[in-house]
Structure formats: C-alpha cells, structure tokens
C-alpha cells in the first residue's frame, strides 16, 4: 500500500519538523511504500494535496498529515475526490482544536501514528464549506482565498468552524502582529490572541446581521460574534457550540449580541467551558444551510484562517464525508 505523508515542517515555529524526524523510524518500518512531502512557502500544503488527489481514477488514497488546524484547513481545501481519501492526522499545532473534538488531545504521536498505520477507517467527519457573496480587503488573490466556481463565487472549506466578526477579527489582528512569530517561538503565542481580544471588545463596532437557517429568518442587532461550527472546539479550546457533532449532517451556530461591548467581558471567557449559553445575549441555532448577511463588511475565518472581509456568506456541508484513520 502506498502512503502519502504531508508535513508542514515550519509549523509551531519549527517544532513540527523536529517532532516529525522522531517519527520517521516508525514509517520506515511500517511495511508500506511511503512518500514524504514537505511543504514550503512556494509549494504549500494545499498544492501538495491537490497534486496527490488530482488523478481521476478509482484508486483509494491514504494520506497522513502532520501539522495544526490551519495545516489541515489548507489540506482539505486542496483535496480533490474526497470520496477516495482516507486521512490520518497527527496534531502538531498550537491550538489543536480538531484533536480536542476527536478526543485525540494528549495522545502521544508515536502511538497515534501506529494506530493510523493499521489503515482502518475509524470514523467519518462532515466537511463544511462557505460561499462568499462578496469580498473586500482581500489579503490574498481570489485563487488563494478559495475555489472560484463557474458562477464566479469563491468557496472555501473548513473542518472545525467558520465565523464572521469578533473571532475572525482576533485572528486577523494576530496574524498582522509583528510579535506573533516571537511569541510562538517562546510558546506563549496565545498572549497575542488574548491581547487582541481585549482590544477588540473596547473598539469593535457591532454589526446588524440577518441569518437564514434552513428557511427560518432572524435578525440580530449589536452582533459581536457569529460562529458556525462543525466540531465543538475553536480558537484554542473555546466551545461556542458545545453540542456540535461532526458527523450528524448539521451545523451549529452561536450568535452573541451583548447590549454593551463591555458586557462581552463577562460572556467571552465562559465560552471556554461552554457555559456561555446561560446569558440572554447568546443565541444558538442548528441547521443544514445557513445564509448570513451583514450591514457591514466583517472579517471571516475558516478554522482560524482569515483571507478577506465579507458581508454575505452561505454555509453548508459537503455531500461527502472525510474518512479518518484515527
């Protein structure tokens, strides 16, 4: 059996690459043909996965990916023919939200890799997709934001969550910070997110949004946060949708509309334990298709990856689930 191993050696400020070197002896002795692909700035995770999965054939594809949530996001956005893919995931990022959702957090990578190398499907996971109705302040070209369809609209996939407003703005501000790389190297990268969260609560202008969830329309004033989740962790461990399940064919939503920005100081920290639902300013939902429009262009993220602002997004699940080897 041929295995494709895809690694982001620069992940976690270079720790991913060093950690992977310790796993190579297990791969060398696994009894399978192994192709190792290292990503670079010029040849990223998405491009590698696109090339591996491009052939239009009936061949089953076995891919092992090592990196963080952002690495996996790039991978699923590059993958073609999901119905033929069997994926093993070795979490080696700073947040590892998917690992938490799958119950893999804290497992040693050697043991997890040995489980994956049995090459047995152990579960299937829904994959989400957003369609941008309009974009502004794009940080990348159209093709780098997502896949441009025949209708001219850009689509991007996610495994954990997508969000508009507060959580996306935090990610964008952190990515733009000149201190992020240094703090990540010191293993205190979460500080930059905490700092930007506090700053945004003071400075953010809440939006008016309209949400159509499977035909049920609701409007919300003073929206600080809109998040739509496939798994139940995001942002390094926040459970905005604590009851989300990644294989039920449904998306869970959480909307925060505090009367004053300062009220969000009380709400936001409680989401880490999933007990924010007790606040009247929190509105939960669940459905198959969610269409969101905003009266202003807001930053949008997919699994913490921010590419642009938008004032209209449509969120759904792909018809195919991704089969997982762990």
Rounded to whole angstroms, the Cα distance separating 277 from 283 reads: 8
Q: Are 325 and 125 in contact (CB under 8 A)?
A: no
Residue 186 pLDDT > 60, yes or no? no
Residue 115, burial from CB neighbour count under 10 angstroms (0-12, 13-18, 19+): middle
d(CA 224, CA 209): 10
Which band of pLDDT confidence, cut at 50, 70 and 90, is reported for residue 189? Answer: low
In the three-class reduction of DSSP (H, G, I as helix; E, B as strand; rest coil), residue 109 is classed as: helix
8-12, 154-158, 173-177, 238-242: lowest mean pLDDT where? 173-177
CA 68/CA 61 separation, integer angstroms:
21
Tokens of 144: 């780098």
CATH of 2-120, one of 3.20.20.70, 3.20.20.60, 3.40.50.720, 3.40.50.10330: 3.40.50.10330
> What per-residue confidence (pLDDT) applies to 164?
96
**Any alpha helices (H) in the chain, and if so which ranges?**
15-21, 24-28, 45-53, 69-78, 97-101, 109-116, 142-145, 166-176, 180-185, 190-203, 264-267
Distance CA 233, CA 242 (A): 8
The percentage of the chain sitting over the pLDDT mark of 90, rounded to a whole number, equals 83
Residue 231 pLDDT exceeds 80: yes
Ranges of CATH 3.40.50.10330 domains, the chain: 2-120
CA–CA gap between residue 237 and residue 100 (Å, rounded): 8
Q: By three-state DSSP, how is residue 153 classified?
A: coil
Higher pLDDT, 324 or 142: 324
CATH 2.60.200.40 residue spans of the chain: 128-319
Residue 140 has pLDDT above 60, yes or no: yes
CB burial class (10 A; 0-12, 13-18, 19+) of residue 140?
A: exposed
Q: CA 294, CA 163: separation in Å to the nearest integer? A: 12
Alpha-carbon span 48 to 264, nearest angstrom: 41
> Which comes out higher in pLDDT, residue 194 or 303?
303
Yes or no: say if 172 and 306 are a contact pair by the CB < 8 Å rule. yes
What is the number of other CB atoms lying within 10 angstroms of the CB of residue 187? 11
Instruction: State mean pLDDT over 281-301.
Output: 98
How many other CB atoms are found less than 10 A from the CB of residue 265? 14
Q: Pick the residue with more confidence: 290 or 95? A: 290
Query: Measured between alpha carbons, how far apart are the two ends of the chain, in Å?
Result: 18
According to the model, what pLDDT value does residue 136 have?
93
Q: Is the pLDDT of residue 184 over 70?
A: no
Instruction: Quote the tokens at residue 260.
Output: 């004053």
Report pLDDT for 13.
Answer: 80
Please give the pLDDT value at position 86.
98
Output the pLDDT for position 182: 57
Q: Which residue has the higher pLDDT, 10 or 157?
A: 157
What's the mean per-residue pLDDT of the chain? 93
Mean pLDDT of 100-114: 93
Q: What is the pLDDT of residue 115?
A: 97
Query: Which residues pair with residue 251 across a beta bridge?
Result: 287
CATH architecture group of domain 128-319: Sandwich (2.60)
**Number of Cβ within a 10 Å radius of residue 52:** 19
Average pLDDT over residues 82-88: 97
Sign (positive/negative) of CA torsion 191, 72, 142, 320? Answer: negative
Reported as a single tens digit per residue, the pLDDT across 35-76 is: 999 999 999 999 999 999 998 888 999 999 999 999 999 999
């Amino acid at each position: 059996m041929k295995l494709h191993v895809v690694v982001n050696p620069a992940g976690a400020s270079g720790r991913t690459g060093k950690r992977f070197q310790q796993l190579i002896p297990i791969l060398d002795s696994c009894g399978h043909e192994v192709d190792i692909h290292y990503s670079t700035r010029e040849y990223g995770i998405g491009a590698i996965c696109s090339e591996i999965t491009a052939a239009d054939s009936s061949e089953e594809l076995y891919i092992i990916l090592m990196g963080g949530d952002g690495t996996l996001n790039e991978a699923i956005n590059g993958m073609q023919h999901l119905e033929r893919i069997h994926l093993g995931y070795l979490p080696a990022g700073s947040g590892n939200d998917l690992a938490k959702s799958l119950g893999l957090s804290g497992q040693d990578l050697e043991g997890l890799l040995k489980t994956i190398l049995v090459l047995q499907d152990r579960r299937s996971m829904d994959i989400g997709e957003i369609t941008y109705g309009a974009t502004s302040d794009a940080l990348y070209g159209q093709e780098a934001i997502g896949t441009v369809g025949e209708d001219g609209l850009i689509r991007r996939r996610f495994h954990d969550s997508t969000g508009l407003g507060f959580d996306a703005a935090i990610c964008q501000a952190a990515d733009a910070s000149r201190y992020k790389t240094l703090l990540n190297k010191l293993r205190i990268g979460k500080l930059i997110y905490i700092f930007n969260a506090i700053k945004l609560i003071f400075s953010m202008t809440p939006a008016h949004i309209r949400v159509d969830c499977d035909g049920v329309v609701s409007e919300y004033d003073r929206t600080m946060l809109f998040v739509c989740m496939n798994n139940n962790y995001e942002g390094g461990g926040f459970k905005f949708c604590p009851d989300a399940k990644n294989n039920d064919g449904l998306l869970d939503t959480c909307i925060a509309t505090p009367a004053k920005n300062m009220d969000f100081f009380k709400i936001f920290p409680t989401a880490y334990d999933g007990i924010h639902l007790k606040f009247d300013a929190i509105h939960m939902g669940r459905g198959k298709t969610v269409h969101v429009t905003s009266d202003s262009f807001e930053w949008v993220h997919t699994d913490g990856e921010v590419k642009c602002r938008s004032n209209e997004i449509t969120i759904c699940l792909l018809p195919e689930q991704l089969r997982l080897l762990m």
